[in-house]
Amino acid sequence: MLLLNNLEKLQDFIQSINDKTLALVPTMGALHAGHLSLVEEGLKQAEICLPYIYVNPTQFAAGEDLETYPRTLDEDLDKLENAGAQAVWLPSTQDIYPSGVEITHKAGALAKPLEGEHRPHFFDGVVTVLHRMFSLSKPDIVMMGEKDFQQLQVVRDMVRTENIPIKIIGVQTTRDRNGLALSSRNAYLNEAEYENAIALNKIIIQFAQHMITEKEAHALILDSGFDKIDYCTAVNSETFEANDPNRIMAAAWIGTTRLIDNVPMMA
């Protein structure tokens, strides 16, 4: 597996693959089986799979976990090599933000509710970094997880409205045996917090099956040991509005750890 740790190596690699199809897998590292499922799917749908690892500063607000975000590069590289990635791109901040670390692209209207209300900087940071990553690596397809469902739809909307000739592929959420969506931030949970965290998925499934109301879901989440709910609500997966709901979206806090999850609703 090639390590592309500067722009020259990236350009050489892109040139060397000629017209082979390229799947890009954006990640912030601290890789788990969810990330690796994106690599596996990328290798099924394209000839070359290029994951990148970059903890993007513009999608963190002051006071969020940019400094403490888990960084496990050696393990990450082993995992990517075992998954069959032909190369991994490790850009520097100078590569990505040559004119300084700032927002250069704004996300569209889909970014306003839910995550956008609670992390107003977040999607502008995501679309800023992805514009740069897309223009440098010129992928045919980009693999993204349904775990971050609103992000997936915001990026789909971005490539559609800006006519960027890239296909965004959504990949199902990988969960542990208790149903907890795998997340790099799960590393922040201690044993007792983990036991509480596994309730979130079970509760949103009940909500998705119309067995409980939104109000009951909120009460159950708080009863399970979550400290705060940012949102837990039924929305339409194309508009993120309450009309014609088909997806349950949730974000809640255990101590200082913020967890998100989402599931499709039963008809």
Q: Which residues are catalytic?
A: 35
Give CA–CA dist 87/77, Å, rounded: 10
Q: Residue 238's CB: how many other CB atoms inside 10 A? A: 13
The residue range among 33-41, 75-83, 92-100, 207-215 that interacts with ligand AMP, by the rule CB under 6 A, is: 33-41
Give CA–CA dist 54/153, Å, rounded: 21
- Tell me the closest approach of the beta carbon of residue 120 to ligand AMP, in angstroms: 18
- DSSP code of 175? B
Give CA–CA dist 154/127, Å, rounded: 8
- Tell me the closest approach of the beta carbon of residue 78 to ligand AMP, in angstroms: 17
142 binds ligand AMP (CB under 6 A): no
Q: Which of 164, 68, 66, 53 is nearest to 121 (CA)?
A: 66
259 binds ligand AMP (CB under 6 A): no
145 binds ligand AMP (CB under 6 A): yes
Nearer to ligand AMP, 58 or 174 (CB): 174
Please give the size of the binding site for ligand AMP, defined by CB under 6 A.
18
The residue range among 24-32, 80-88, 92-100, 106-114 that interacts with ligand AMP, by the rule CB under 6 A, is: 24-32
Nearer to ligand AMP, 148 or 157 (CB): 148
Range 156-215, binding ligand AMP (CB under 6 A):
171, 173-174, 181-184
Tokens at 250, concatenated: 């949730």
Q: Is the dihedral of CA 28, 110, 63, 228 positive or negative?
A: negative
Q: Is the dihedral of CA 62, 67, 68, 72 positive or negative?
A: positive
Q: What residue type is 27 in one-letter code?
A: T
Name the site residues for ligand AMP (rule: CB under 6 A): 26-28, 34-35, 37-38, 144-145, 147-148, 171, 173-174, 181-184
